[in-house]
Amino acid sequence: MTAFPQYSATALPRYPWDEVTFVSTAVYQPGAIVQLADGRAAVYTGLEANAIGDPVTFKTQGVFEVVSASATTFSSGAQVNWDAVGAAAVAKSSGSFYLGAAVQAKVAGTTSVLVALNLPTLPSS
């Protein structure tokens, strides 16, 4: 017996799996990174800053180019954290939260890292 007789499926998608939408209590700039109540990292994908009380949508999956200090390095698959105070990708440190896994190595001298948001760390190749 199916739960939805008009469909052959017993489960139907209702919300995009990679997005979270809520009414904002703060102003977010495009590309803002936040930590959700469940601990996941999320990126504000709006094209302009929102107003408090607006519905806002954050992506919780995908590959993002994230700002990082020039001297910070990551190997491919390494854990990348977000330091909200310094507004930069960092290695695990006090006050930072898990952002995702580095998609490729980041060497000194570059100022961004490609991160697979909320993806567990990858085995090194």
| Residue 25 covered by a domain | yes
| Residue 124 covered by a domain | no
Q: What are phi and psi of 124, to 5 degrees?
A: -75, 145
The per-residue pLDDT for 9 is: 55
Parallel/antiparallel/unpaired status of strands 97-102 and 41-44: unpaired
User: Is residue 108's pLDDT more than 70?
Assistant: yes
44 with 77, same domain?
no
User: Which of 106, 94, 95 has the alpha carbon at shortest distance from 65?
Assistant: 106
67 with 52, same domain?
no
Q: Find the mean pLDDT for residues 49-54.
A: 96
Residues 20-39: pLDDT tens digits? 999 999 999 999 999 999 99
| Residue 109 covered by a domain | yes
Q: Find the mean pLDDT for residues 50-55.
A: 96
26 with 51, same domain?
yes
Q: What average pLDDT does the chain have? A: 88
Domain that holds residue 35: 19-59
User: Is residue 95's pLDDT more than 60?
Assistant: yes
pTM value? 0.82
The per-residue pLDDT for 5 is: 56
| Residue 80 covered by a domain | yes
The per-residue pLDDT for 1 is: 45
Q: How far apart are CA 110 and CA 51, in angstroms?
A: 33
| Residue 4 covered by a domain | no
67 with 97, same domain?
yes
Identify residue 94 by its one-letter amino acid code.
Answer: S
Residue 1 tokens, joined: 């017996």
